């Protein structure tokens, strides 16, 4: 896989860093000239992935979240959000709309559904007690605005 450009960002698992992740992604993607809608979709998907790592992966405990963003040929954006938290026992079940492990926190259980709706591809790999890696891809339109 040819990588045209790449950025890696490691942040502590604090909910305030959700905004930092969005800012990093936005700044990096400017070079690809995405449409406003594409940028918004990608920022939202990243926000959901980081929130999942904070709330479900680490359950508000301290740990690192790794964000990798790559610009690939043909205007493809690759994003990976990785944590070393508690992991997901049943990924298929976790990806069902409205499923949540934190109902007491009034979580809607739509994180993965939102990521799927805004990105072209979503892959979730997880091992209990080892962590979760969310990989997303989106091809940008031919010419951004």
pLDDT digits (tens, 9 = 90+) for 18-73: 999 999 999 999 999 999 999 999 999 999 999 999 988 998 789 999 999 999 99
User: What backbone torsions phi and psi does residue 139 show, to the nearest 5 degrees?
Assistant: -90, 125
Q: What is the mean pLDDT of residues 3-29?
A: 97
Does residue 103 register a pLDDT over 70? no
- Residue 26 phi, psi dihedral angles, 5° rounding: -60, -50
| CATH classification at residue 87 | 3.30.565.10
Please tell me the distance from the alpha carbon of residue 45 to that of residue 50, in angstroms, as a whole number: 9
Residue 145 inside a domain? The answer is: no
- Please say if 106 is a catalytic residue: no
* Rounded Cα–Cα distance for residues 51 and 31 (Å): 26
Per-residue model confidence (pLDDT) at position 96: 75
> What does the mean pLDDT of the chain come to?
91
Residue 144 reports pLDDT greater than 80: no
pTM of the model: 0.90
Q: What does the pLDDT read at residue 37?
A: 97
| Residue 5 among the catalytic residues | no
The pLDDT assigned to 110 comes to 73
Q: CA-to-CA distance for 78 and 74, rounded, in angstroms?
A: 12
Q: Is the pLDDT of residue 91 over 60?
A: yes
Domain annotation covers residue 89: yes
Domain-embedded: residue 144: no
Could you say which of 22, 38, 43, 48 is catalytic?
48
Q: Which tokens hold the place of 98? A: 């409205």
* DSSP tag of 95: T
What is the chain's length? 145
Residue 61 pLDDT: 86
Residue 52 annotated as catalytic: yes
Which residue range is the domain that position 125 belongs to? Answer: 5-139
Is residue 31 domain-resident? yes
Concatenated DSSP letters for 21-58?
HHHHHHHHHGGG---HHHHHHHHHHHHHHHHHIIIIIS
Q: How many domains does the chain have?
A: 1
User: Does residue 109 lie in a domain region?
Assistant: yes
**What does the pLDDT read at residue 145?**
46
Q: Which of 17, 22, 43, 52 is catalytic?
A: 52
Q: Is the pLDDT of residue 106 over 60?
A: no
* Structure-token pair, residue 85: 């938290």
Answer whether residue 108 shows pLDDT above 80. Answer: no
**Is 88 part of a structural domain of the chain?**
yes
**pLDDT for the residue numbered 139:** 98
Secondary structure element (H or E) that encloses residue 83, with its range: strand 76-83
* Long-range contacts of the stretch 108-114 (C-beta < 8 A, 24+): 111/48, 111/49, 111/51, 111/52, 112/48, 112/52, 114/44, 114/45, 114/48
More confident residue, 28 or 95: 28
């Amino acid at each position: 896989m040819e990588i045209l450009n790449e950025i890696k960002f490691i942040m502590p698992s604090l909910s305030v860093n959700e905004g930092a992740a969005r800012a990093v992604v936005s700044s990096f993607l400017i070079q690809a000239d995405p449409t406003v809608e594409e940028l918004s979709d990608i920022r939202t998907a990243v926000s959901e992935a980081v929130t999942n790592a904070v709330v479900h992966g680490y359950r508000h405990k301290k740990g690192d979240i790794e964000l990798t963003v790559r610009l690939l040929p043909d205007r493809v954006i690759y994003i990976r959000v990785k944590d070393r938290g508690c992991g997901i026992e049943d990924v298929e079940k976790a990806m069902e709309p409205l499923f949540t492990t934190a109902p007491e926190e009034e979580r809607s259980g739509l994180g993965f559904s939102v990521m799927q709706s805004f990105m072209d591809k979503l892959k979730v790999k997880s091992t209990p007690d080892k962590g979760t890696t969310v990989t997303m891809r989106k091809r940008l339109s031919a010419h951004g605005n």
